[in-house]
Amino acid sequence: MIAGRLRRGAVFGILCLVVVVMLFPFVYMAIVSFRSQDQFISGEGFSLDSWAALFDTLPVAQQLVNSMVVTVAAVVIILAVSSMAGYAFAKLRFPGSALIFILILAGMMIPVQSIIIPEFVNIAQVGLINQYPGAIAVYAALGTPLGTYLMTTYFRGVPTELVEASLVDGASYWQIFRKVMLPLAVPALVTIAVLQFIQIWDDLLIGLLFLQTPEVRTITVGVATLQSARVIPIPLVIAGSLVSAMPAVVVYLAFQRQLISGLTLGMGK
């Protein structure tokens, strides 16, 4: 009995130690952001200097808006496109269905870096560099294959009788999609939205290439460029990091369960 309790205590202790390792960077960030450069070097005292300076160095509000516009627009497109496709693949019979589905699955295996050069050149050619729609289109395209796969898996679990019954009642395929299938798919849609929101909000590469000027940059890119400038005081960069991380963390805390179910959905189980 005592041995069991000891072991339980040891397990608890180890898990707490892991908590320290996982949370330490966040505590470190919070502390450093409330120090001026001098206080950071001496390691003593706190002030709001770095936070004040952050808003002078980086157009924080503008870049947060940029991030929000780009992320939300891309997520909405991904949801619309994948739910329609998922419905068709799962419930409708049409020529080429299997082949198209497999090709889209294969799209999940393309690393961004392998398409980024022509993508950049193409988007530049149509004049969409430094414009929201260019970045939105690329983000939407990168998220669509996984979204389509997850929606197809989800809709396959919906009884086909529901579709048939509505057809008999004289509903069109579009009406069935809107009135029957979409309401049923809310949990899957939320999961995809959360996964993609975090993914796109946190991205650097696409933003770096497709939204280059400070006025259109996303906050994640803005903070990364602060860091790579190497002359900006560290506490200021850290304060910026905290701001950029906040929205995704809030989404994470609110939708943790959906995020976890998304991960296991991805296993095809």
Partner 1 sequence: MSDMAAVRPANPGARRAVPKNTGRLRRAEQRAGLLFVLPVVVVYTVLLALPIAQTFWYSLTEWNGITSTFLGLDNYRRLFNDPTFWRVVLNNVMLLAAIPFAILIPLLVAFLLNQKVYGWRFFRSVYFLPTAISWVVIGIVAARLFAARGFLNGLFAALGLDIRTDMLASEYTAMLAVIITFIWSVFGTNTIIFITGMATLDRDVYEAARVDGAGAWQVFRYLTIPLLTRFIQFAFILTLITGFTALFSLIFVMTTGGPGFGTTTLEFYVYQTAFANGAFGYAAAIGVVLFAIVFTISIIQLRLLRGRGE
Shortest Cβ 211–partner 1 spacing (Å): 14
Q: Which is nearer to partner 1, 211 or 223 (CB)?
A: 223
- DSSP symbol at 178: I
What is the 8-class DSSP label of residue 35? S
DSSP 116-135: HHHHHHHHHHTT-TTSHHHH
185 versus 223: smaller Cβ distance to partner 1: 223
Judged by beta carbon, residue 174 or residue 213, the one nearer partner 1 is 174
Q: Which is nearer to partner 1, 140 or 211 (CB)?
A: 140
Rounded Cα distance between 43 and 262, Å, is 42
**Least Å from the CB of residue 89 to partner 1:** 4
Q: Select 216 or 248, whichever has its Cβ closest to partner 1.
A: 248
Residue for token pair 């090709």: 103
Going 137 to 143 to 149 to 151, the CA torsion angle's sign is negative
Residue closer to partner 1 (CB basis): 50 or 152: 152
Minimum gap (Å) between residue 132 Cβ and partner 1: 15
Alpha carbon distance 222, 63 (integer Å)? 7
**Cβ(54)–Cβ(240) under 8 Å?**
yes
Which position has the token pair 């990168």? 142
Please report the DSSP string for 186-233 in residue order: HHHHHHHHHHHHHHHHT--HHHHHH--STTT--HHHHHHHHHHHS-S-
Q: CA 140, 202, 109 angle in degrees (round to 5)?
A: 50
Residues 138, 122 contacting (CB under 8 angstroms): no
Cβ proximity to partner 1: between 109 and 186 the closer is 109
Q: How far is the CB of 241 from partner 1 (least distance, A)?
A: 4
How near is the Cβ of 97 to partner 1 at its closest, in Å? Answer: 3
Task: Rank residues 188 and 223 by Cβ distance to partner 1 and give the closer one.
Answer: 223
Q: Using N-to-C axis directions, what is the helix angle for 132-156 and 186-201, rounded to 10°?
A: 150
CA pair distance 91, 151, nearest whole angstrom:
11
Give the shortest CB-186-to-partner 1 separation in angstroms.
19
Report, in Å, the least distance between residue 156 CB and partner 1: 8
183 and 33 Cβ atoms separated by less than 8 Å: no
Q: State in angstroms the smallest separation of the CB of 56 from partner 1.
A: 19
